[in-house]
Amino acid sequence: MLKLLSLILWGATIMVFVDHTLGYLIEGGEFLELTIDATVLGLGLLTVGLGVWEAILLLKDPKGVLHKRKA
């Protein structure tokens, strides 16, 4: 299930890169923002991504830890 987590985090990385690139090209200014708001947004994005991954892990239960499988 680490492939799914990797896909989620790479998707978030590409989204942030496109957002920063378009903001830089359209509005000018700095490419990377080192403000509290940008940091909180990044941490929030990471938290949501990890939460979605955890929810999928709980629903799929790939190793059968939560629900014993019948033989």
- What pLDDT sits at residue 45? 93
CB 53 within 8 Å of CB 11: no
Look up residue 66 and give its two tokens. Answer: 């939560």
The answer to the question of residue 43 being in a domain is yes
Does residue 70 lie within any of the structural domains? no
Its domain, for residue 48, covers 2-60
**Can you give the pLDDT at residue 54?**
93
Provide φ and ψ at 69, rounded to 5°. -90, 145
State pTM to two decimals.
0.75
66 found inside a domain: no
Name the token pair of 1: 């299930």
What pLDDT is stored for residue 8 in this prediction?
94
User: Number of structural domains, the chain?
Assistant: 1
Residue 69 is predicted with a pLDDT of 65
Quick check: is 36 in a domain? yes
Mean pLDDT by runs of 10 across the 71 residues of the chain is 93 92 88 88 94 92 75 56
pLDDT of residue 70: 64
